[in-house]
Amino acid sequence: MIAAAILGAALTLALGAPRPAASEVGEMASVRAAARAAESAGASAGLLEAARGLRDEAEALTSAEVALDASLMDVWLPRLAELEAMIADPATPLAIRAELEATVEALARVGLR
């Protein structure tokens, strides 16, 4: 039951609409905690899907879109800090880390790094 709640929070973050920056940091922290819990709870597949969703969202951004929409900075910069922390965390499973690294690379390509 707890794993389902954690997974739901991760998927909401990955697939949900942009929210204020303050809530982004808290939600990314939830994803980080979920990544740790997933390793032992066997929910890695769901977290991997959430990480892929973040990557897909980042890869869909264009440089022009970022230049014209300042709110994207408010959405992605707090996420970026948490993504980098999760990548550096040795407890993050390798498959999830790879997706997070791809997300950070996609953000860098459009100037959000």
State the total domains in the chain.
Answer: 1
Check: CB of residue 47 under 8 Å from CB of residue 10. yes
Nearest C-alpha neighbor of 32 from the set 78, 91, 73, 72: 91
Range of the domain at 34: 2-109
1-36 pLDDT per residue, tens = 333 344 445 544 554 444 444 455 566 666 766 666
Give the helix ranges, DSSP H, for the chain. 2-15, 21-41, 44-59, 63-68, 71-88, 94-109
51-72 pLDDT per residue, tens = 999 999 999 999 999 999 989 9
pLDDT given at position 43: 58
Q: At what angle do helices 71-88 and 21-41 cross, to 10 degrees?
A: 30
